[in-house]
Amino acid sequence: MDEEQRAPRLALRDISKRFQSVVANDHISFSVAPGQVHALLGENGAGKSTLVKIIYGVLQADEGQILWDGRPVTIDSPHQARGQGIGMVFQHFSLFEAMTVLENIALGIDNAPDLKELADRIVTVSRKYGLPLDPSREIHTLSVGERQRVEIVRCLLQNPKLLIMDEPTSVLTPQEVERLFVTLRQLSDEGCSILYISHKLQEIKDLCHHATVLRGGRVVGECDPAVETARGMAQLMIGSELKQLVRRAGSVSAEPRLIVENLTVPSTLAFGIDLKGISFEVGAGEIFGIAGVAGNGQNELTQALAGETTLHRPSTIRLDGKAIGHLGAEQRRMHGLCSVPEERSGHASVPEMSLAANTLLTARNRLGLARQGFIQPTEAQDYAQRVIDEFAVKAAGPSANAATLSGGNLQKFIVGREVLQSPEVLIIAQPTWGVDAGAAATIHQALFKLAQNGTAIVVVSQDLDELLVVTDRLAVINLGTLSPSIATAEASVEQIGLLMGGLHGMEGEAADRGSSKHVG
Amino acid sequence: MWVKVEPRQEASRRVIYATPVLAVGLTVLSGYFLFLFLGLAPAKTLYHFLISPTLTFYGWSELCVKAGPLVLIASGLAIGFRANVWNIGAEGQLTLGAVGAGGVALAFWGESGLWILPLMCLAGILGGMLYAAIPAFLKTRYEVSEILTSLMLTYVATLALGILVYGPWRDPMGFNFPQTRMFSDSALLPLILDGTRMHLGILVTLAVAVAAWMMMARTVIGFQIKVVGLAPAAARFAGFSRNRTVWFSLLLSGGLAGLAGTFEIAGPIGQLVPHLTPGYGFTAIIVAFLGRLHPLGIIASGFLMAISYNGGEIAQVEDRLPQAATGVFQGMLLFYLLACDFLSRYRIRLAATRREASPS
């Protein structure tokens, strides 16, 4: 024990990494003790991802030293990292949809034994850690939580001494998060160190022994999350006082502005989700939330609402009484329905084009940025400038390419582009996904103001915390069906969490309960 | 060892415009060694190939005659390429355009009137459009690659033209040569400069190139084409229909190719023959890319390609350079251009293998 304390499992000494003019990591030092659950806390762009990529050998540091069990090492590749006993679960999974769990794991580990033996080991490891997995299931039949299990089991099969988890809970239901924490605590008890990357403060308080806070590529603080308040950590992370959101005095009109009635859309994609009989209403001035775990039909629903998918029956979607279900995206926009798709780059914007040109995507007819088929360059420039000014978008100007903006700034621009058109109805997907707290506050404030002026807003989000703050009412989408709606003020996290697990979780749920008993 | 291709940090604008110049340089260098290998005097042959065509006024007028159809076709193709619509069959559309225009010319043979030429142009454009409509229909309805259909239809078009000029349209007084009658004067394009073969079509081409530029820079349809090409999902979001863009680009490029075919038969050729062009429809693809899909660039690269045609002929006479050398030159140019483009965006790294036994 003494010896272990003298030599941390992993120690970083003055790690620096530059990308051209951007310093992603600036002399970062910290150490992780054996068995410690160590939080790496920071906003998007704070340098967390770069740092863990360096530890996992995906990137190489420009300067600095990595000590492993007290000895300096160079980690040139993920293969070498795994050889040292470092495992990593990425935020985005790398699994082949059409292959089985077993095949995917066999492809992803070094020196895989023969498949039969591997299948046995998968079952043993998954039992031991309460991560039930059937090796013969094909990936596309698994929920997102189950897919994450595949990735975790893949790491555990190599007996890691350090497990890196990059934002593991962003795709999980609250219940799944609890279950994951049981597993992680068990690993920690067995002496496996865990480097846990997150910006969710409550989770870090619940799980982690120690936290290192990064901001702008530097270590700005270390703390014991059990002692430090969430607010204190947030301020360390953001570097300034948190802005308080001003919620409007609720004046939701009873008259529904947007009525969706029995919306059914069969999926056109191989592993897509069919939308089945979705109905809801949103009043003027109301913010309606749609919660759910990723991949349960949110994209399909957003596209059907926005008009990227058109419907046969016009009356399926009605806006102020007008049937618009058969209309395409631009025609719906002309009727006052604007939308913000989830994917900022390549869907909500064209990265290779200027911000001014990007305003033409949705505002060309509504705001007359094009007339008689001709683009009005000055008007487009002016509108882009207005969005930049009113939403405090950090950009070189209206002529800057969308690709040059950071994620948060691009999102502010895209949201601003729609909000300043004062639509009657706004459909917005993942409004603050991967966006820093400052930008998120700006966006939420803009939605409040828009609602105040009578816009009916639909927010589709995986972030339950966000929905609880922003919405008046919410419903949960699960496998293409929408639950009845609940008033947000009366909703509990548990209730929503269970709906998020929905029918889809049933088999896994039963199996999980059995094995968690077995474990704990 | 294995080869790794990794993207570079953003390629600068300067690099994008430098690659065509670099490609031309490499082509000339390779040409030098090619001529050396063929046992010719490389410097002299290169001189004949690249410089001689530009030394006289008549030489320049001939370059205009050759560059005209290339620029006209490439202007249309470039617009489609921006939308990721790969019309490889301009040669076929040119041929069908010529058939349409030629049909009009023959139907009114011996008659005179100012309306004959415009009618021919209309028929030529329609012929090219109709022929391009086939790949457009197959693409939008059945997702068939327009690359394959447009290319293969080219051979059908050439054979169809063959049937006509060997059969019903053959000149009755033509000693059985496979060609139609020479068109009457009313069906021929007026020359714009005496003593040259420069015809009115060249001015029209210039106007088309400028109009294409305006369209891409200033109109919603131009914007739509660019968005569909760069980010299909964003195009759907914006309410731009991909299918309509496919139809528009194929009909436009087909129509312009048909017009180019019309100008050829109503200009330098003056009748229908089995082989109308030395492959203008294909060379125009190179012209479009070498010109960076930009109307002004296309005019410049159109002249470069015209030089390779005319210079090839001079070198054939002067140095007994094989006729195929022109094709080799054009091919090398495209090859080097694509290679330079690729390398300006990606770097190739040789990396030592570190993988041990891969899982079986």
Instruction: State mean pLDDT over B330-334.
Output: 86
Binning pLDDT at 50, 70 and 90, where does residue B12 land? low
- Class of B11-351 in CATH: mainly alpha
A376 — phi, psi (to 5°)? -100, 90
- For A116-164, the pLDDT digits (tens) are 889 999 999 888 888 888 888 888 888 777 888 898 899 888 889 999 9
What is the reported pLDDT for A455?
94
Backbone angles phi, psi at A199, to 5 degrees: -125, 10
Confidence of residue A1 (pLDDT cuts 50, 70, 90): very low
SS3 category, A393: coil
Portion of chain A with pLDDT greater than 90, in percent: 47
Q: What percent of chain B has pLDDT over 90?
A: 69
CA distances (Å), B291 to each of B19, B246, B287, in order? 11, 22, 6
ipTM for the predicted complex comes to 0.84
Cβ-defined contact of A79 to B354 (cutoff 8 Å): yes
**Average pLDDT in the A234-250 region?**
63
Between CA A154 and CA A132 the distance in angstroms is: 13
Phi, psi of A59 (to 5 degrees): -120, 160
Report the residue of A20, A350, A404, A427 to disrupt the B interface, i.e. the one with the largest count of B CBs within 10 Å. Answer: A350
Domain ranges of chain A: 2-238, 256-346+424-506
Confidence grade of residue A233 (pLDDT, cut at 50, 70, 90): confident
Identical fold, A2-238 and A256-346+424-506 = yes
Of B256, B80, B102, B90, which is closest to residue B157 (Cα–Cα)?
A: B90
**A-chain residues within 8 Å CB-CB of B233?**
341, 343, 346-347
Q: Which of residues 260-289 of B touch A (CB under 8 A)?
A: none
Q: pLDDT tens, B34-46?
A: 889 888 889 998 9
Q: pLDDT (tens digit, 9 = 90+) per residue, B226-238?
A: 999 999 999 999 9
B37 burial level (CB within 10 Å; 0-12, 13-18, 19+):
exposed
**What residue in B sits closest to A104 (Cα-Cα)?**
B359
pLDDT band at B357 (very low <50, low <70, confident <90, very high): very low
Q: How confident is the model at residue A479 (pLDDT cuts 50, 70, 90)?
A: confident
Class of domain A2-238: alpha beta
- Examine the pLDDT at A176 and tell me if it is beyond 60: yes
CA distances from B148 to A26, A27, B76, B126, B138 (A): 53, 55, 18, 22, 11
Average pLDDT over residues A171-183: 85
Residues within 8 A of A (CB atoms), B 190-219 only: 218-219
Task: Look up residue B48 and give its DSSP letter.
Answer: I
Per-residue confidence (pLDDT) for residue A209, from 0 to 100: 93
Measure the CA–CA gap between A277 and A159, rounded to whole angstroms.
46
**How many whole angstroms separate alpha carbon B348 and alpha carbon B327?**
29
Q: Domain map of chain B by residue range?
A: 11-351
Nearest alpha carbon to residue A279 among A264, A261, A291: A261
Specify whether the CB–CB gap between A463 and A475 falls below 8 A: no
* Contact: B230, A350; criterion CB under 8 Å: yes
Write out the residues of chain A at the interface with chain B, using a CB-CB cutoff of 8 A. Answer: 20, 76-77, 79-80, 106-107, 109-112, 306-308, 328-331, 333, 339, 341, 343, 346-353, 357, 360-362, 364, 370, 373-375, 377
Local confidence band at A3 (pLDDT 50, 70, 90 cut-offs)? very low
Quick check: A5 pLDDT over 60? no
Q: Give the CATH number of domain A256-346+424-506.
A: 3.40.50.300
How confident is the model over A71-77, as a mean pLDDT? 90
Q: Which of A105-109, B209-213, B313-317 has the highest mean pLDDT?
A: B209-213
* pLDDT for residue A439 is more than 50: yes
- pLDDT over threshold 60, residue A515: no
Query: Terminus-to-terminus CA distance in chain A, angstroms?
Result: 26
The answer to whether A218 and A14 are in contact (CB under 8 A) is no
Q: Does A79 contact B238 at a Cβ distance shorter than 8 Å?
A: no
Do residue B219 and residue A331 have CB atoms under 8 angstroms apart?
Answer: no
